[in-house]
Amino acid sequence: MHPLSRRGLLGLFASGGAILAGGRQAHAFSQEVATGKALALHQAACGATASHKELAVEVERLLGDAYTAEEKKQVVARLTCPICGCPLAGSF
């Protein structure tokens, strides 16, 4: 029997870890769709409503006169805050 090299030993550990990891699913984190109550709590805790209004106004300014007020609202409705991820739609 010949001695196992460091590369061979690391390869064995990697393949063993892959076999163990592939056999089961991690359940420590799950992603769920937020309910209305959860979204309301997040909005209340965010504290960034003033900056959200500023962002919404900035988007409206950037869109300029080329769009109607309704089209601008539709654009803002699709945007989220780059800092906290809250939707900007309620700020308009």
Token duo for residue 25:
């699913």
Task: Give 73's contacts (C-beta < 8 A, 6+ positions apart).
Answer: 89, 92
Q: What angle do CA 70, 45, 79 make, to 5 degrees?
A: 30
- Selected residue with higher pLDDT from 16 and 6: 6
Q: Give the pLDDT confidence score for residue 52 in this predicted structure.
A: 82
pLDDT digits (tens, 9 = 90+) for 38-89: 777 766 766 667 778 888 889 889 988 888 989 888 888 898 888 777 787 7
pTM of this structure: 0.47
Q: Give the pLDDT confidence score for residue 48 in this predicted structure.
A: 62
